[in-house]
């Protein structure tokens, strides 16, 4: 194994040296990661989180977010500040029921085609039509049907609102409403695939700051700067190489030897040790509106029993997971579904603590005194934290008679497995892009959400509370609604919040401009090297 690791590092060094001599090392960024994108199309079924990073850098959106200083002095996005991107300005109608965007007249796609409002309409129409995650993300901002979107002229695009919703404009700045080159995409559409889903999975029809130069799934993705990009300051990096290195030890070695520039999916233990050693810079930020959780399928036995779910909650070794799987790089939640740094967050008292005797009693009350067998699944693409957490949960559940077989699902297929909603018990993490508790609960607990309501949880009372909070303007009433749906989540317990993760990023000290984003991916546009 050590010989294989040394050979890999030697190969990476040779490849990096060739790249540096051809491109200029200060203008090239080498990223090493555990897993890469499974699609170039964020609208695609099952597009994984690394696919968000690809889309964010190769596509433009109408608007984006401003920046601010984080508590540790680094930079982060500012959810309260929206800034122009492809749209140079926008105007809300006096009645508040439409928004009109003026597009940059000099914007072009990567193939040189001018960007027009027709492309924007086609892109928005696509996002609200294809179904799955992109359509639900658009719906979170009351963007629901093509009739809402109008290409007024080549450089004017209008969104007609179904209702006044504070999340509409922020939702237009997240990765999903990317603007596609409709002329190019339509060339690859068919009667059975009108949105060119198959072609766009492996190709780009984009106009963002970076072009896709090459993509070898499972190995490497290479981006080059689009020098005619007009939607912001031209990035300083001319090339970004993202290499997939499954071994966390190899990724760390590449960083510490100076053979890679940046990585953000190492084990918490490694980040803790590297931060103390000081060879590389480590920047950390609690992921807003996010938790890692143990999810249970409440639709099917045995986890359709509330007492079984409560037993699981009391059998989760919260402290042990936080100390030995996460190495305290996060915030312990112990069942609290609302994480720190969430806009307007308020801690909710939960009854859960590690109590095997109580968990056994609850199992007996549920009619499972002798226990049962099941599978415990996790995303192998994030095995650095999921695997030790799974082992600890497995060992603990065994003490109350729940015998689990650990099911490691490849990262490229994890999202598809979540969508099937067949896993009885599983480990997952979710972070809400828009920093509002009702947005987070819409995704995780709302009965109409077919995507990330991974536990198949249905509660008309929960739906009513979430919907009311989305449109409540009175601060006092809003706070009570948030407290109410948080309490209900703790009572019904479709999932058990374990901890709020940190987004840790390790980089060479000559890398500048790193910025934390709600989508937890790298934005190459701000980065540079001295």
* pLDDT reported for residue 46: 86
Q: What is the pLDDT of residues 106-128, one digit of tens each?
A: 999 999 999 999 999 999 999 99
* pLDDT reported for residue 511: 97
* pLDDT reported for residue 14: 47
- Which among 268, 217, 219, 245 has a CA at the least distance from the CA of 5? 245
Query: Residue 392: helix, strand or coil by DSSP?
Result: helix
Give 274-322 as a DSSP string: HHHH-SSEEEEEE-TTEEEEEEE-TTSTTTTSHHHHHHHHHHS-HHHII
What is the C-alpha to C-alpha distance for residues 414 and 474, in angstroms, rounded to an integer?
40
Question: What does the pLDDT average to over 152-181?
Answer: 97
CB 128 within 8 A of CB 135: yes
Instruction: Please say if the pLDDT value at position 412 is more than 70.
Output: yes
Q: What is the pLDDT of residues 300-320, one digit of tens each?
A: 999 999 999 999 999 999 999
Name the token pair of 169: 């404009």
Residue % of the chain over a pLDDT of 90: 81
Identify the architecture of domain 2-244+508-529 in CATH.
3-Layer(aba) Sandwich (3.40)
- Secondary structure string (H, E, C) spanning 503-514: EEEEECCCEECC
Domain extents in the chain: 2-244+508-529, 290-503
Distance set, CA 367 to CA 3, 304, 394 (Å): 53, 13, 21
Mean per-residue pLDDT of the chain: 92
- Which among 33, 478, 508, 489 has a CA at the least distance from the CA of 255? 508
Of 23-27, 126-130, 188-192, 526-530, minimum mean pLDDT range: 23-27
Question: Can the peptide bond before residue 462 be classed as cis, meaning omega within 30 degrees of 0?
Answer: no
Query: pLDDT band at 451, cuts 50/70/90?
Result: confident
Instruction: Please say if the pLDDT value at position 415 is more than 60.
Output: yes
Q: Which helix (H) or strand (E) holds 29?
A: strand 28-33
Give 290-503's CATH code, choosing from 3.40.50.12160, 3.40.640.10, 4.10.93.10, 3.10.105.10: 3.10.105.10
What is the C-alpha to C-alpha distance for residues 443 and 433, in angstroms, rounded to an integer?
10
Distance set, CA 98 to CA 117, 164, 255 (Å): 16, 9, 49
Residue 395: count other Cβ atoms within 10 Å of its Cβ.
13
This prediction has a pTM of 0.86
* pLDDT reported for residue 1: 44
* pLDDT reported for residue 2: 47
């Amino acid at each position: 194994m050590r010989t294989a690791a040394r050979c890999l590092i030697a190969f990476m060094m040779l490849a990096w040296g060739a790249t540096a001599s051809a491109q200029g090392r200060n203008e090239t960024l080498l990223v090493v990661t555990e897993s890469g994108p499974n699609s170039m199309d964020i609208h695609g079924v099952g597009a994984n989180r690394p696919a968000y990073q690809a889309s964010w850098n190769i596509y433009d959106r109408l608007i984006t977010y401003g920046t601010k200083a984080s508590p540790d002095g680094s930079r982060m996005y500012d959810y309260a500040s929206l800034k122009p991107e492809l749209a140079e300005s926008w105007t809300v109608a006096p009645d508040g029921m439409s928004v009109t965007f003026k597009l940059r007249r000099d914007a072009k796609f990567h193939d040189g085609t001018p960007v027009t409002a027709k492309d924007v309409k086609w892109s928005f129409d696509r996002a609200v039509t294809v179904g799955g995650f992109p359509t639900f993300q658009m719906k979170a901002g009351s963007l629901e049907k093509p009739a809402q979107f109008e290409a007024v002229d080549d450089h004017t695009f209008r969104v007609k609102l179904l209702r006044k919703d504070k999340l509409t404009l922020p939702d237009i700045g997240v990765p999903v409403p990317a603007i596609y080159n409709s002329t190019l995409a339509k060339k690859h559409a068919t009667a059975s695939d009108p949105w060119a889903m198959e072609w766009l999975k492996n190709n780009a029809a984009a106009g963002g700051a970076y072009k896709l130069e090459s993509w070898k799934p499972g190995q490497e993705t290479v981006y080059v700067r689009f020098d005619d990009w007009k939607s912001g300051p031209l990035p300083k990096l001319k090339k970004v190489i993202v290499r997939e290195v499954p071994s966390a030890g190899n990724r760390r070695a590449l960083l510490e030897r100076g053979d890679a520039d940046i990585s953000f999916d190492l084990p918490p233990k490694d980040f803790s040790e590297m931060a103390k050693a000081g060879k590389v810079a480590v920047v950390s930020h609690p992921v807003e509106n996010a938790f890692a959780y143990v999810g249970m399928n409440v639709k099917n036995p045995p986890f359709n029993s509330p007492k079984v779910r409560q037993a699981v909650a009391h059998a989760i070794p919260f402290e042990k997971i936080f100390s030995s799987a996460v190495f305290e790089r996060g915030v312990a939640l112990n069942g609290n579904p609302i994480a720190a740094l969430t806009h307007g967050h308020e801690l909710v008292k939960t009854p859960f603590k590690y109590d095997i005797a109580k968990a056994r009693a609850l199992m007996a009350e549920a009619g499972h005194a002798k226990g049962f067998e099941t599978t415990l699944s996790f995303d192998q693409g994030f095995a650095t934290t999921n695997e030790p957490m799974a082992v600890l949960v497995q060992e603990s559940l065994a003490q109350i008679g729940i015998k689990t077989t650990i099911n490691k699902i490849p990262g490229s297929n994890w999202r598809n497995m979540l969508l099937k909603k067949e896993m009885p018990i599983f480990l997952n993490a979710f972070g809400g892009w828009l920093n509002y508790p009702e947005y987070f609960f819409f995704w995780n607990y709302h009965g109409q959400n077919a995507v990330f309501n991974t536990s198949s949880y249905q509660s008309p009372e929960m739906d009513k509370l979430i919907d009311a909070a989305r449109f409540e303007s009175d601060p006092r009433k809003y706070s009570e609604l948030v407290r109410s749906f948080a309490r209900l989540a703790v009572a019904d317990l479709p999932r058990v919040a374990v901890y709020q993760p940190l987004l840790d990023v390790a980089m060479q000290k000559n890398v500048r401009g790193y910025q934390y984003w709600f989508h937890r991916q790298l934005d190459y546009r701000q980065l540079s090297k001295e």
